[in-house]
Amino acid sequence: MTVHSRPLDASPHVSDEVRHTTCYMCACRCGINVHLREDEAGNPKVRYIEGNRDHPVNRGVLCAKGSAGIMQHYSPARLHKPLKRVGERGEGRFEEIEWDEALELATQWLGDVRRSDPCKLAFFTGRDQSQSLTGWWAQQFGTPNFAAHGGFCSVNMAAGGIYTFGGAFWEFGSPDWDKTELFMIFGVAEDHDSNPIKLGLARLKERGVKVIGVNPIRTGYNAVADEWVGITPGTDGLFILALVHELLRAKKIDLDYLIRYTNAPWLVIDDPDAADHGLIARDKDGVPLVLDRKTGKPVSSKKKGVKPALGGTAKLPKGRRAVPVFDLLARKYLDSEYAADAVAERTGVPAEQIRRIAVELAQAAFEKEIVVEQPWTDMKGERHDKMIGRPVSFHAMRGISAHSNGFQTCRALHLLQILLGSIDCPGGFRFKPPYPRPIAAQPKPHGEYQADAPLAGPHLGFVHGPEDLLLAEDGTSPVRLDKAFSWDAPMSAHGLMHMVIANAHARDPYGIDVLFMYMANMSWNSSMNSGGVMKMLADKDEAGEYVIPKIIYADAYRSEMVAFADLVLPDTTYLERHDCISLLDRPISEPDSVADAIRWPVVDPATQADGRDVRGFQSVLLDLGGRLGLPGMTNEDGTTKYRDYADYMVNHQRKPGVGPLAGWRGGKGDKNGRGEPNPKQIEQYIANGGFFEAHVPQEARYFKHANRAWQDFATQMGLQDGPVENVFQLYLEPLRKFRLCAEGKAEPQPPDSHRERIERCFDPLPIWYEPFEGDLIDEDEFPLHALTQRPAAMYHSWGSQNAWLRQIHGTNPLFVPTEVADAAGLEDGDWALVTSHHGRIRVPIKRMGAVNPNTLWTWNAIGKRPGAWSLSADAPEAKEGFLLNHLIHELLPPKGDGLRWSNSDPITGQAAWFDLRVKIEKDPDQSDTTSHPRFEAQSGSARPVPQVVAFGEEWTK
Amino acid sequence: MTSLPPSTDKKLGLVIDLDTCVGCHACVVSCKEWNTGGYGAPLADIDPYGAEPMGAWLNRVHTYEVTPAEGPASVVHFPKSCLHCDDAPCVTVCPTGASYKRVEDGIVLVEEDLCIGCGLCAWACPYGAREMDPAENVMKKCTLCVDRIYNENIPQEDREPACVRTCPAKARHFGDLADPDSDVSRLVAERGGFDLMPEMGTKPVNQYLPPRPKTRPQASAASPAPETVEADGLLGWIDRALERLG
């Protein structure tokens, strides 16, 4: 007998309470609803995590990582107590100590450095979302050596955008998903921003808008794109400049936009022997000159009613000449070297595809013009009765930026956007508050230090020219350990975290005493040459002392880096902590709203495991600041100023009325943006779902770079202190200034060794040059490219400890293009040897057709050191999983001049991960079933690791 | 043997858009997360931190490479869970009556108290949509979140399957496929939704929407390329164009 309708509790109890906070399973920072329910012991336990429908970032959705947060929160790899090393570095043997001892030890080590020579502290943080605090702490400490992970992530993207137009992708701006008519996405797997891109693609699919994916690998977003451009790695700039060539040839550019918002009409001095050749011609007040079409004479670009020319020659005093930026630009990109036919072979993109995409861009921009009937006033006071949009939008991330030519490539993409008139117009790319913020509104870098004193300003910033470099007294040596803002990487706005350990080990430019890191797996997947870095961290000098004498590391989990620390400060999980997702830091605004958010302890760590005694790193940092007597963190009576991070979030003011959180300021909590601290601010955030959002007025929503209503709103909100001029820099004069020095025409002079590459790479107009590694190796020997992509279901190394996510990505084959596999005789599951100029790895392979024919690739950060992350030593991540990092050196191959250059972009210092060149062959010995290189297991936790997880068992009985 | 209802009042099911699914696994993990603390036994994971982690999942995403006759190979992400078939072979094969199809909404469920863990239903399912729980040894399958969709303890707007609620690409849709006017039925009609493996005669309720055709690299432009100029010609054109702009 069968009963087709049976009794069933269709309304079971779900949770006792729902708490709203911010996800931290990747950098996307989605709003989450954490459902809590009592466990058998009566403690609140996480029952379920879902997306917060009201949250501006994710609007209710949540990715695989976010939903797997439960397994992260209850991971057996969690640290529970401070640890002091008892074995040798790298072994991972520790004793648990109390917080008092840990903090006293840290205070002693750090205090000694601060009192003697503050540069002997290198403080670098990884995927940290509190750089506004950590940077301020380092500034108050007074070391010049601070940065976060931007240098090895996507600084080219950020710096290329900020220098060019005062914004960039992801946190700085996004496509106008509701209005765009054509969308191109370059070099993006799961890297930023995760759910908003998926939501955006959904919107485009719903509206039938074409999506073009540019990526050597056709997975994820590129798999659903309507058209795939399977480009050869490192050639995106060439492809983009070919699109520019085709658009210029077809006269499909927005002249009105160029004249109004860009430096296209500015005059460039043409006086080849002069010290200012190639600089912008300016009047006595420093205002750029333009060529007046009426009079044919150079006049101030600020002259009311001036109608500037875009071509021609202007006569300057003393018989000198100047030409508009656009004239130089048009002649440069109309050269046949940028023709589709000329670049097709090098880029791997057929010429007809390049030409057709150019036509489609032009059609979308100019034939699908969008008009928004919204009057607005520009910064010159001109009233416009509507907003005109060029509905073409772009997004790009690490695929184009993580190359040694990435800065110029990112600039090339922005050039393309600007020529089409599609920045912050309806249907184009849109700024997210507090952006736009051009370099005029950004700090310059600071590095001048002395004992027992803070730095004069923030470490990181934007140089305007050689005068802003951080050089030692000899005039050429770097001030900073990572050599940021030196001739090696003059415009390294995010520092060079990937060089810190190598430089400290080489004592070049100097040795250090304390290496202090947070959330950065530098002995494994976050470093190039991981095996080499492990040796450096454990290396001893002739006296038997560690070359890097002291290492303090803060992390929530037993990562590979923990094993190399002398002192480990255990952090909380993201559900146990306070955080602010601040407008002073990395914002989460949307184009139509200013937004920030908090995390708060939705569960108390003490209830989440026996003996759990962890503290949020930011609170610990403020405690250390008080113990060290750092300015701003210490009261007049010498006591510690901030109780914890929550106290700081509410009461710290960066300037009067402006603090880490913008919402509910003022004594009554009724002020937004600016206002005195509100003791109930965090409660009000919690009551509002963990975030704050203020809507941008309708009139201020587009053309923010030139929109008076936006400037007024931004000033009122405390995002800026007054109007900021933002002329898009198609021609980037700071680059020309560095070149003049390299040419010997201006001071200061770079070392001779640097002249050639500055000459070659620092073109003030975007260019493409061969990625360095490819240029230095024998292409016949290493004919292939090798890349990693982040899987959508696992963002970084943390994922491997996750019982659910590791069932999705427990191993990572090397995907090999079909023809390459055929030539090497490789079948699925075979073991191959992959060799670069630096090293060799042994990996399992999988054949693939949907990939650029010269590109091998694998998933990022799946491979694990045995014993790390509380996985068993024979876990597939450790046995078969592998890292490409072992093939990538932090230095470029030698080229006979005795120098080893950093494997970075010469302009920004961005780590050139994706320049890697390799060869592949079948391993003659197929009997071994492990990946190589292999490493000794690190010691694990003494705490038991569960053999079965049946999560939620207590609620299903 | 267990019988199927001759018809059901509703046919609740999913419509999955293969044109939009980016293969991110959001639905897979959200499903696991909801259901491990929900209907029936938890979805256990054996050896979760060891050499062979193995757990029960009700929904998985498979990835296939497709090589068309012309144009480059492409990748299709294919989420798969129970399709709540009208002629569900997993129900008729069940020796204890544990597997059944609900007459009110067509959802196929396992009454776990009656399940003996024989696994016949998993053999009978041509889609491989059922998984034995490795700890409890009972058969687990998609319940269409029967404990969400009618649940009065959660807001009305959340009364949809967890996988649909979370899908960041909005590639999953939930509704009554027996109602020709429902949003899901309309989507199926508009986009050419199809049965998975219709030759098996299972009459699946869940429907898939096919990927839309892609542009091939060598495709020609929809309209002729515009007239082109060289540098001096461009600058001359600009002079005239600027005059027109005023």
Res. A732: pLDDT tops 50: yes
Report pLDDT digits (tens) over B118-128: 999 999 999 99
> Which residues of A fall within a CB distance of 8 Å from B111?
6
**Binning pLDDT at 50, 70 and 90, where does residue A347 land?**
very high
**Binning pLDDT at 50, 70 and 90, where does residue A139 land?**
very high
Q: Which residue of A has its CA nearest to B108?
A: A4
Q: Which residue of B has its CA nearest to A313?
A: B235
What does the pLDDT average to over A486-502?
96
**Binning pLDDT at 50, 70 and 90, where does residue A869 land?**
very high
Confirm if A181 and A364 have CB atoms less than 8 A apart.
yes
| Angstroms from A204 CA to nearest CA on chain B | 10
3-state secondary structure (DSSP) of residue A78: strand
> Which residues of A fall within a CB distance of 8 Å from B37?
37, 47-48, 951-952, 955-956
Quote the tokens at residue A615. 């503290």
Burial of A639 (0-12, 13-18, 19+ CB in 10 A): exposed
Confirm if B82 and B58 have CB atoms less than 8 A apart.
yes
Q: What's CA A248's distance to the chain center, in Å?
A: 32
- A259·B242 Cβ contact <8 A: yes
| Topology (CATH level 3) of domain B12-209 | Alpha-Beta Plaits (3.30.70)
Question: Which pLDDT score, from 0 to 100, does residue A371 have?
Answer: 97
- A310·B242 Cβ contact <8 A: yes
Question: Which pLDDT score, from 0 to 100, does residue A918 have?
Answer: 98
Among B75, B77, B94, B218, most A C-beta atoms within 10 A, so best to mutate, is B75
Q: What's CA A13's distance to the chain center, in Å?
A: 42
- The correct answer on CATH 3.20.20.80 for the domain covering A772-922 is no
Amino acid making up residue A739: R
| Angstroms from A1 CA to nearest CA on chain B | 7
Report pLDDT digits (tens) over A253-297: 999 999 999 999 999 999 999 999 999 999 999 999 999 999 999
pTM of the model: 0.97
- B42·A807 Cβ contact <8 A: no
Question: Which pLDDT score, from 0 to 100, does residue A147 have?
Answer: 96
Res. A572: pLDDT tops 60: yes
Question: Which pLDDT score, from 0 to 100, does residue A942 have?
Answer: 76
Task: Compare A6 and A574 and report the one with higher pLDDT.
Answer: A574
A90 phi-psi bin (left φ>0, alpha ψ -120 to 50, beta other): left
**Binning pLDDT at 50, 70 and 90, where does residue B1 land?**
low
| Angstroms from A62 CA to nearest CA on chain B | 5
Confirm if A276 and A741 have CB atoms less than 8 A apart.
no
CA dihedral A305→A310→A316→A319, nearest 10 degrees, is -150
Residue of B227, B223, B214 whose CA lies nearest to A363: B223
CATH of the structural domain A158-437, one choice from 3.40.630.30, 3.40.228.10, 3.30.420.40, 3.30.360.10: 3.40.228.10
Distances (CA, A) of A387 to A454, A698, A812, B200: 47, 11, 49, 56
Confirm if A46 and A575 have CB atoms less than 8 A apart.
yes
Res. A364: pLDDT tops 60: yes
Query: Given 3-state DSSP classes, what are the helix, strand and coil percentages for chain A, each rounded to the nearest 5?
Result: 30, 20, 50
> Which residues of B fall within a CB distance of 8 Å from A250?
225-228
Q: Which residue has the tokens 């025409």?
A: A745
Nearest beta carbon to residue A4 from set B49, B100, B223: B100
- A807·B49 Cβ contact <8 A: no
Res. B163: pLDDT tops 90: yes
- The correct answer on CATH 3.40.50.300 for the domain covering A83-150+461-570 is no
Confirm if A870 and A941 have CB atoms less than 8 A apart.
yes
Q: What's CA A235's distance to the chain center, in Å?
A: 21
What does the pLDDT average to over A537-557?
97
Quote the tokens at residue A114. 């601060």
A789 phi-psi bin (left φ>0, alpha ψ -120 to 50, beta other): beta
Confirm if A673 and A662 have CB atoms less than 8 A apart.
yes
| Angstroms from B175 CA to nearest CA on chain A | 17
- A48·B135 Cβ contact <8 A: no
Residue of A13, A92, A113 whose CA lies nearest to A630: A113
> Which residues of A fall within a CB distance of 8 Å from B17?
205
**Binning pLDDT at 50, 70 and 90, where does residue A1 land?**
very low
Domain residues of chain A, as ranges? 83-150+461-570, 158-437, 772-922
- A956·B37 Cβ contact <8 A: yes
What does the pLDDT average to over A772-790?
94
Provide the mean pLDDT of chain A: 96
Among B15, B24, B112, B154, most A C-beta atoms within 10 A, so best to mutate, is B24
Report pLDDT digits (tens) over B16-68: 999 999 999 999 999 999 999 999 999 999 999 999 999 999 999 999 999 98
What does the pLDDT average to over B187-200?
97
Q: Which residue of B has its CA nearest to A37?
A: B37
Amino acid making up residue A626: G
Among A75, A192, A807, most B C-beta atoms within 10 A, so best to mutate, is A807
Res. B225: pLDDT tops 80: no
Q: Is beta strand A321-324 parallel, antiparallel or unpaired with respect to A267-270?
A: antiparallel
Domain residues of chain B, as ranges? 12-209
Report pLDDT digits (tens) over A587-641: 899 999 999 999 999 999 988 888 899 999 999 999 999 999 999 999 999 999 9
- A850·B65 Cβ contact <8 A: yes
Report pLDDT digits (tens) over B56-96: 999 999 999 999 888 899 999 999 999 999 999 999 999 99
Nearest beta carbon to residue B151 from set A12, A51, A949: A12
Distances (CA, A) of A709 to A388, A505, A671, A721: 17, 52, 19, 14
What does the pLDDT average to over A327-351?
97
Task: Compare A941 and A885 and report the one with higher pLDDT.
Answer: A885
Per DSSP, the residues of A481-534 read TT-TTSTTSTT-TT--GGGHHHHHHHTSS---SEEEEES--TTTTTSSSHHHHH
What does the pLDDT average to over A875-898?
92
- B65·A849 Cβ contact <8 A: yes
Q: Is the ipTM of this complex over 0.90?
A: yes
Residue A679 neighbours by CB distance under 10 Å: 11
